[in-house]
Amino acid sequence: MIRFFSFAIGLTFCSIAFGQKITSTIVGNPKILYNEGGVVISSQLVTCNDASRHEIMNFELLSVKNNNDAPVAIKMKEDIYYDGACRTCDNYEYNFTLNLEAKELKSGSCDRDGHPALSIFSSMNDGYIKEKLTDTKLQVVRLH
């Protein structure tokens, strides 16, 4: 029992000491990408500074808002272009289904634990990734 307690204390300490510390800064104005049937999808360019990894990256964070009084489900395909070439057009991993309750808002974040469909890598400042996001096209189908 004492070993378990010591392990739990050590694990808690490590998660606090080595947990991710990411700060975000909004850049520019949001853009509306989709607005039909009471569902609005917008994007916002955000700079994410991960101090623990010494990385500064830019992401287009998506927000999906259901303005309806009833739940909705949407199917979304993201065609993401870097330096003019589509990198996701033939990749089924960029097809997502989102279920939203009435009046619910889902948003992307800089955290690695966020929903992958709602955070699109844009560019990296002074880093090893040189490609830059040049376009994002969404194909959205409302399921119900």
pLDDT per position as a tens digit, 111-121: 877 888 999 99
pLDDT of residue 20: 58
Length of the chain: 144
Residue 139: is it exposed, middle or buried by C-beta count within 10 angstroms (0-12/13-18/19+)? exposed
- Contact in structure between 39 and 66 (CB atoms under 8 Å): yes
The string of pLDDT tens digits covering residues 6-19 is 333 333 333 334 45
Domains and their CATH numbers in the chain = 21-142 (2.60.40)
Tokens matching residue 58:
């830019």
Identify the pLDDT of residue 126.
Answer: 78
**Per-residue pLDDT tens over the stretch 73-91:** 999 999 999 999 999 998 9
Report the C-alpha gap between 119 and 138 in whole angstroms: 13
For the segment 53-66, the average pLDDT, to the nearest whole number, is 94
CA-CA-CA-CA dihedral for 79, 88, 81, 119, to nearest 10 = 80
> d(Cα 95, Cα 21) in Å, to the nearest integer?
30
